[in-house]
Amino acid sequence: MKAKLEEIRQRAEEELSKANAVETIEELRVKYAGKKGELTAILKQMGKLSPEERPVIGQFANEVRSYIENAVESKKAELAELKLQKQLQDEKIDVTLPSNTQPLGHKHPLSIVLDEIKEIFVGMGFEIVEGPEVEYDYYNFEALNIPKDHPARDTQDTFYITDNIVLRTQTSPVQVRVMEKKKPPIRIISPGRVFRSDAVDATHSPLFHQIEGLVVDKDITFADLKGTLETFIKRLYGDDSVVRFRPHHFPFTEPSAEVDVQCFSCKGKGCRVCKNEGWIEILGCGMVHPKVLENCGIDPEEYSGFALGLGLERVAMRRYGVDDMRLFYENDTRFLSQF
């Protein structure tokens, strides 16, 4: 029986030395040292031995079992180490090679132009203020001299949330809020998103950006407004920019004007971008209506002011020579990467 146990040990050692897979090693363990393995089958015959032989054979059998189990674990560790070394070799990385450069994001063209506009106005002494996009009817219309029955409300194409709450159609409500809380002198701009139910085309969108400007102080005249706007436009577009003022009407300013810049696409000859007019309107402006000052608690006999509002998209189109404002919203990286 001892010879058989030694034979089992030798065969197990030989087969384990040739095994090259964890599954094969496990099969050999079960074959020799499992509950139904060869070693167990030999031990079941110990009843035939004399009382003197049983302890000797039992001890030797335990030694054989321990040897096989240790050999199995040793072989598994050896294969695991070989697998790790192969994996390390296959996945070896040369850390001295230059890395792949990750593309970096950059400012959107509208943000670039907005920052330039802010810098120009801040350089002229203006503060930057913001206000809510969801606005009360009072601030969006009534305080700006546009009562409930005023025909100007029809031209705004307003998105109403309730009868008294709207998506702001302009950033002018910010001016009202500032004048309510702050006494003159006031010199602010208020950039932000505005909403109107416009059909989408090359120069219109239901969502766009406006920048409102307001100056209120003693002895402010239309000449101050004109000088401010000409300085702004030439700073933004260059000294050769062609600008014109046209008389217009706004309920919240009197007198009022619209300011155009010569079309960058056709240079005044007329094309699709400017609707064959040769000019592109970029802002409206005028002297703050006395009633608006009164609504905000400012004495129009003592103070006067001017207001202006420009569309950021149209300014950016003129700035970069873009002929369709929809390009700013389509997130096409081929377009955006040019900026």
**In CATH, what number is assigned to the domain containing residue 116?**
3.30.930.10
Q: Are residues 117 and 18 in the same domain?
A: no
Peptide bond into 185 cis (omega under 30): yes
Is the predicted pLDDT of residue 209 greater than 90, yes or no? yes
Q: Is residue 101 in a domain?
A: no
Tell me, yes or no, whether 131 lies in a domain.
yes
The candidate with the shortest Cα–Cα distance to 192, out of 177, 168, 210, 174, is 210
Query: Which three-class secondary structure state does DSSP give residue 263?
Result: coil
Domain check: are 57 and 148 in the same one?
A: no
CA–CA gap between residue 245 and residue 186 (Å, rounded): 24
Q: What is the pLDDT of residue 94?
A: 80
> Using CA atoms, how far apart are residues 99 and 137, in angstroms rounded to an integer?
56
Q: How far apart are CA 196 and CA 159, in angstroms?
A: 7
Domain with 73 in it:
2-90
Answer yes or no: do 40 and 151 share one domain.
no
Q: Enter the DSSP assignment of 98.
A: P
* 3-state SS, residue 109: helix
Same domain for 294 and 264: yes
Q: What is the pLDDT of residue 98?
A: 86
- Which range in 80-84, 125-129, 146-150 is most confidently predicted, on average pLDDT? 125-129
User: CB of 202 within 8 A of CB of 325?
Assistant: yes
Question: How much is the average pLDDT of 61-71?
Answer: 75
Radius of gyration (C-alpha) of the chain in whole angstroms = 43
Q: Are 285 and 256 in contact (CB under 8 A)?
A: yes
Residue 323 has what pLDDT? 84
On whether both 312 and 253 belong to a single domain, the answer is yes
Asked whether residue 323 falls in the same domain as residue 189, the answer is yes
Half-sphere CA count of 117, side-chain side, radius 13 A: 28
Query: Comparing 136 with 315, which gets the higher pLDDT?
Result: 136
| Torsion (CA) 311, 217, 140, 285 in degrees, nearest 10 | -30
pTM above 0.75, yes or no: no
Cβ atoms within 10 Å, residue 237: 18
Within a domain: residue 246? yes
Q: Does residue 97 lie within any of the structural domains?
A: no
C-alpha span between 162 and 310 (Å, rounded) = 27
Above pLDDT 90, what percent of the chain? 43
- Bridge partners, 128 (sequence order): 189
H/E run at residue 222 = helix 222-237
Whether residue 196 is contained in a domain is answered as: yes
Whether the CB-CB separation of 316 and 230 falls below 8 Å is answered with no
Residues 144 and 239 in one domain: yes
Same domain, yes or no: 247 and 215: yes
Asked if 152 and 169 count as a contact pair (C-beta separation under 8 A), the reply is no
Residues 75 and 122 in one domain: no
Q: Mean pLDDT of all residues in the chain?
A: 86
CB 329 within 8 A of CB 205: yes
Same domain, 117 and 51: no
209 falls within a domain: yes
Per the structure, the count of domains in the chain is: 2
Q: Are residues 67 and 151 in the same domain?
A: no
- Residue 87 — very low, low, confident or very high, per pLDDT cuts 50/70/90? confident
pLDDT at position 19, please?
Answer: 79
State the Cα–Cα distance between residues 181 and 216, nearest whole angstrom.
Answer: 13
Percent of the chain at pLDDT > 70 equals 93
User: Alpha-carbon distance 307 to 228, whole Å?
Assistant: 11
The answer to whether residue 39 is domain-embedded is yes
Nearest-angstrom CA–CA distance, 248 and 152: 13
Q: Is pLDDT above 90 for 121?
A: yes
Strands (E), the chain: 127-128, 134-136, 165-167, 186-195, 207-217, 243-250, 253-262, 279-288, 304-311
Q: Is residue 59 part of a domain?
A: yes
Are residues 169 and 209 located together in one domain of the fold?
yes
Using one digit for the tens of pLDDT, what is the confidence trace for 222-251? 999 999 999 998 898 778 778 899 999 999
